[in-house]
Structure 1
Amino acid sequence: HDFVKKLEDKSLKQENFLFYLKQDYIYLLNYAKCYARLALNSNTAKELRFAMKFQNYIVEGEMELHRAILSLGINADELDAKDESLVNIAYSRYMLSVGENGDFLDMLVALSACAIGYAKIGAEIINRLKNENLKDHPYKEWILTYGSENFQNEAKEFEDFVNSYTSSVSAQKFQKLSEIFHT
């Protein structure tokens, strides 16, 4: 994606990065609500613990990064729905609708694209920049967060949890889950 390439090679304009951060902050508020929906759809204590753990990770972890970066010029507490882009609205409401109309696994898969995707992007950037000093990189906090060992471990745990359901899924259900993931 062009945005990621520009972020990595330092050519991304700061105003574009700040717009993204604002949108991602609002998105993460909705993403955390999606984990509440995942918890509502849970059938076991293990599923409930998983949903609550990742909801907490978003609220206390990922959103903290955004608040720290946004504090350079934007009050994150003042961001609200009026600042949300139409693309953001469509995607976050889609995920919520998956949870409202589907089951735990449907919602889990809807959430997985973001959870696993950001880890893959972060790891790839870190791998490509491993010989470069990130000290002066304008987006180093973002890169270090999503490329961090901690974030990678959380994403791996998420991926393993999703994969733990694969042996019990019918071909029809797998097709539905594939469509959810790719939307």
Structure 2
Amino acid sequence: MNTREDIFDRLKRECKADWSAYVDHAFVLKLGRATLPEAAFRTYLVQDYLFLIQFARAYALALYKSRTLSDMRAAHAGVAAILDVEMDLHVRLCSRWGLTPDRIEAAPELQATVAYTRFVLDCGMSGDLLDLHVALAPCVIGYAEIATRLIAEIQTPLTNHPYREWIGEYAGDAYQAVAQNAREQLERLAARSMTAERFPELCGIFAKASRLEADFWQMALDHPA
């Protein structure tokens, strides 16, 4: 069994405190324990829908900045995963509260949403593909890890869990494959263009993206809809 530490593991290890603030946030813990207020989850869903629109743009930027067909296909897969998988999930969940896509898209972006998404886009605009994918990694790969952990911690069928669709979607095979593909693409990019001198800069990007993820969770708790 190959236990070699990949770039994602290295980034998590070097940014341990920021990573923990994100994946162990009160929002995540409450969601898993089914104690998260529905109003906070609604805020999260609406803002995450708006967030995903900007992340689709980030993957489109990755497509534009790609110089190989392999990188272009990876970026295209990222766009498709957002537009065809994640956004459909949000529409289904929001429909429980009578929130249509038009109403969601008309909602204002809260500060944490703007801060995070524009940071990622700026990383892509000012840096290269590796910078952009490091900025994307906490969300894309982190959600898969969070959902897998929640499934293990709950240890009972999700049938009666109020957030079963969210947990099940991100723990499911389709999204886990999305996350694994993103992780493998990140590793390929690092193998091509990362140097020892550059690694601290990438850690800075990863740490900030993780902190912005934690701020995103906190936004939902602070501004329940």
- Offset of residue 30 of structure 1: 0.6
Aligned counterpart, 2:172: 148
Pick aligned residue for 1:122 from 147, 150, 155: 147
The residue that corresponds to 2:113 in the other structure is 88
Contact map agreement 1:26 1:81 (CA 8 A) in 2:
no
Q: Which amino acid aligns with 2:116?
A: Y
Q: Find the aligned partners of 1:97 and 1:82 in 2 and give their Cα distance.
A: 23
CA distance in 1, matches of 2:84, 2:72: 18
Q: Which runs of 5+ in 2 are unaligned?
A: 1-24, 209-225
Work out which of the residue numbers 11, 33, 53 in structure 1 matches 2:77: 53
Which secondary structure does the structure 1 equivalent of 2:161 belong to?
coil
Q: Which moved more, 1:61-70 or 1:148-157?
A: 148-157
Aligned residue in 2 for 1:29 = 53
102-111 or 76-85, which moves further after superposition? 76-85
Identity %: 35
**Alpha-carbon offset, residue 45 of structure 1:** 0.8
Asked if the contact 1:109/1:177 (under 8 Å) is kept, the reply is yes
- 2-side partners of 1:103 and 1:153: how far apart? 24
Normalised by the length of structure 1, the TM-score is 0.94
Deviations 1:79-138 (A, max 9, x none): 2365211011011011111111111111111111111110010000011123x1211111
Deviation, 1:20, is 0.5
- Length, aligned pairs only: 182
Aligned counterpart, 1:175: 200
d(CA) in 1 for partners of 2:205, 2:119: 10
* Contact 1:106 1:177 (8 Å CA) reproduced: yes
What is the aligned partner in structure 1 of residue 14 from structure 2? none
* 2:162 partner SS: coil
Pick from 82, 86, 90: which aligns with 1:62? Answer: 86
What stretches of structure 1 of length at least 5 have no aligned partner?
Answer: none
**TM-score, scaled to structure 2:** 0.77
**Aligned-partner Cα distance in 2 for 1:32–1:77:** 18
Q: Please list every run of at least 4 consecutive aligned residues from structure 1 whose deviation after the TM superposition is greater than 6 angstroms.
A: none
Tell me the equivalent position of 2:66.
Answer: 42
Three-state SS of the structure 2 residue aligned to 1:12 is: coil
Distance 1:81 1:33, change over 3 A: farther
Between the aligned partners of 2:84 and 2:191, the Cα distance in structure 1 is 33
Pairwise CA RMSD? 1.3
